[in-house]
Amino acid sequence: MSLKVKHSWYHLLILYFSTCVYARVNVSENGRTDPSIIEDALLDTFTLIRKYGYPCEIHKVYTEDRYILELHRVPHGRNKTKAERLPVVFLQHGLLSSSAEWVLMRPGKGLAYILADAGYDVWMGNARGNTYSRNHVSTNPTRSKFWQFSWHEIGYYDLPAMIDYALKETGVSKIQYIGFSQGTTAFWVMSSMRPEYNEKIMAMHALAPIAFMGNVRSPLIKAIAPFTNTLERVLKLLGANEFLPNGKVNELAGELLCIEEAATQILCKNLLFLICGFNNEQLNDTMLPVVLGHTPAGASTRQIVHFGQLYKSSKFLQFNHGWLTNLLTYGHGSPPEYNLTAITTPVFLHYADNDWLSTPDDVEKLMIELPAAVGKFRVPLKAFNHLDFVFANDAKKLIYDRLLNIMFRFVN
Ligand SMILES: *[C@@H]1O[C@H](CO)[C@@H](O)[C@H](O)[C@H]1NC(C)=O
Ligand SMILES: *[C@@H]1O[C@H](CO)[C@@H](O)[C@H](O)[C@H]1NC(C)=O
Ligand SMILES: *[C@@H]1O[C@H](CO)[C@@H](O)[C@H](O)[C@H]1NC(C)=O
Ligand SMILES: *[C@@H]1O[C@H](CO)[C@@H](O)[C@H](O)[C@H]1NC(C)=O
């Protein structure tokens, strides 16, 4: 395939997003959208949480390789005081997302609020490269060097730095971990490459776990995957180290994007579905501008390429740099597999039938290959898709209530 093809897939994605933005301009002139929705689309995680009456703190964390990350903490629920020591839970978001993911759906629906109200001290990570973690001691996001990472580095450097920080700040010796999608992938990296971190995690709750991707059903991912080898090189030539740069898209998105009653709302929604699986029933259209106001939140091209490699190889492998660099980096021409046997934290896998990224077959494979997997739990709704794990109307009833029950067993 020619370079032109690879390059145009990337632009097709951007085009989808910008079409949404463009066509929305006229719609918003009608002024029919609830101003509170627009406000939610524009507020940052911290301000959004405060708006709904919950306490929130911002913490800065330095990684070993000197990225500066922002952690968001909801230290307790609305009706509690800080005096008592609460069990700590750490939440890690998915690809192209941020800590906002856990609170966009508002109190009663957003998992961070539900956990805080259930008596947890909630810490939300932000991976390097996203809206809140775009700083580095000696480089910055305009430099190519800044973007030389995949989710491998997020697991190897970011998670340990953030978890150590939360442990130190709260004085507890162990926490529970909840990851969504890439938030699970990074966890497998951390706990296999740095097994000492297994000691710091009581239990890992994986929402839409991703390690094996051989059975991915998403047509868009399948279409992009064959080109992943050269995708990175092409994008580098074009100066695109960041995948779907968020700045302008997001600014506009909050006000204009996918506001109700425009034809393009269907387009925006269908783009999400095309990647993640269709389910009209569980995604609240009204909240779509809020979701898209915060997504995409920034990721490196390498993160996408690395996922593409998992799909192509059907294995859970470290990054494939090409033969020569592999030889220099790993001592082999091909990248090694992550050692899932080294993971000892008890793991609970939550999956759904209609998830096109974390498919039942791939979760089954993970269940078999991961000795620490305690159990796997199917969401009791056939149509439940990938994003429903964080955005579904009925996520609480369908999955969070069970999650809380499991978590409660680890709280003494
Ligand atoms: C907005 O409306 C004007 C006239 O009302 C029209 O000319 C223009 O094409 C519209 N723009 C979009 C993006 O639909
Ligand atoms: C918090 O307190 C208010 C008033 O006392 C009450 O209406 C509300 O239901 C409480 N919320 C929670 C999550 O307990
Ligand atoms: C959708 O979101 C709006 C705004 O938050 C809310 O008023 C409405 O009840 C939601 N609909 C459903 C079905 O949850
Ligand atoms: C994987 O980890 C386990 C447990 O630490 C160890 O016994 C095994 O040798 C490792 N396998 C490889 C291929 O490194």
- Express each pLDDT in 275-302 by its tens digit: 555 566 787 777 777 777 777 777 888 8
pLDDT mean over 320-331 = 93
pLDDT above 60: residue 225: yes
What pLDDT does residue 265 have?
54
User: Mean pLDDT over residues 398-412, rounded?
Assistant: 94
Q: Where are the beta strands (DSSP E) in 210-336?
A: 242-243, 299-300
How much is the pLDDT for 22?
36
123 alpha carbon – ligand 2 mean position (Å): 22
What is the pTM assigned to this prediction?
Answer: 0.85
Of the candidates 94, 85, 106, the one whose C-alpha atom is nearest the C-alpha of residue 175 is 85
CB atoms within 10 A of CB 104: 23
Q: Where are the beta strands (DSSP E) in 309-361?
A: 347-351
Active-site residue (options: 40, 355, 362, 388): 355
Whether residue 95 has pLDDT greater than 80: yes
With 0-12 CB in 10 A as exposed, 13-18 as middle and 19+ as buried, what is 248? exposed
Class of domain 8-304+339-408: alpha beta
Which residue ranges make up each domain of the chain? 8-304+339-408
Torsion of CA 274, 278, 284, 290, to 10 degrees: -20
* 405 CA to centre of ligand 1 in angstroms: 52
Measured in whole angstroms, the distance separating CA 34 from the mean position of its chain's CA atoms is: 27
- pLDDT of residue 222 exceeding 70: yes
**Is the Cβ atom of 371 under 6 angstroms away from ligand 4?**
no
Banded pLDDT at 35 (limits 50, 70, 90): confident
- Give the chain's mean pLDDT: 83
pLDDT of res. 4? 36
Ligand 4 center from residue 333 Cα (angstroms): 20
Examine the residue annotation and report whether 401 is marked as an active-site residue of this protein.
no
| Range from 47-51, 58-62, 249-253 carrying the lowest mean pLDDT | 249-253
Q: Residue 274's pLDDT is what?
A: 55
Confidence class for position 77, pLDDT limits 50, 70, 90: very high
Q: Name the pairing type of β-strands 67-74 and 135-136.
A: antiparallel
What is the β-pairing status of strands 88-92 and 175-180?
Answer: parallel
- Kindly give the distance from the C-alpha atom of residue 410 to the centroid of ligand 4, in angstroms, as a whole number: 27
Catalytic residue among 99, 181, 191, 300: 181
In this prediction, residue 39 carries a pLDDT of 82
Residue whose CA is closest, atom 13 of ligand 2? 117
Q: Which amino acid residue places its CA nearest to atom 2 of ligand 4?
A: 342
Is residue 280 lining ligand 3, measured as CB closer than 6 Å?
A: no
- Tokens linked to 199: 């000691």
Structure confidence at residue 285 (pLDDT):
72
Atom number of ligand 2 nearest to Cα 107: 13
Neighbours of 290 (CB within 10 A): 27
Which one has a higher pLDDT value, 108 or 228?
108
User: Token pair for residue 308?
Assistant: 């593409």
181 is an active site residue: yes
Q: Is the pLDDT of residue 176 over 70?
A: yes
Better-scored residue on pLDDT, 309 or 9: 309
pLDDT of residue 20: 41
Q: Which of 79, 80, 114, 396 to mutate to test the pocket of ligand 2 (most atoms within 8 A of CB)?
A: 79
Name which residue leads in pLDDT, 16 or 381. Answer: 381
Ligand 4 center to 192 CA (angstroms): 9
Contact 227, 9 (CB under 8 A): yes
Does residue 347 have a pLDDT over 80? yes
Single-letter amino acid, residue 306? H
User: Residue 319: pLDDT band by 50, 70, 90 thresholds?
Assistant: very high
Q: Best of 54, 76, 78 to mutate for ligand 2, by most ligand atoms within 8 A of CB?
A: 78
Q: Whose CA is closest to atom 14 on ligand 2?
A: 79
Confirm or reject: Cβ of 339 under 6 Å from ligand 4. Answer: yes
The residue-averaged pLDDT of 182-189 equals: 97
Which of 13-27, 123-137, 163-177, 193-207 has the weakest average pLDDT? Answer: 13-27
Q: For ligand 2, what atom is nearest to the CA of residue 77?
A: 13
The closest ligand to the CA of 107 turns out to be 2
Q: Is the CB of 26 under 6 A from ligand 4?
A: no
Cis before 296 (ω within 30): yes
355 is catalytic: yes
User: Band of the pLDDT at 59, cuts 50, 70, 90?
Assistant: very high
pLDDT at 236: 59
User: Residue 3 pLDDT more than 50?
Assistant: no
- Which residue has the least CA distance to atom 8 on ligand 1? 26
pLDDT of residue 399: 96
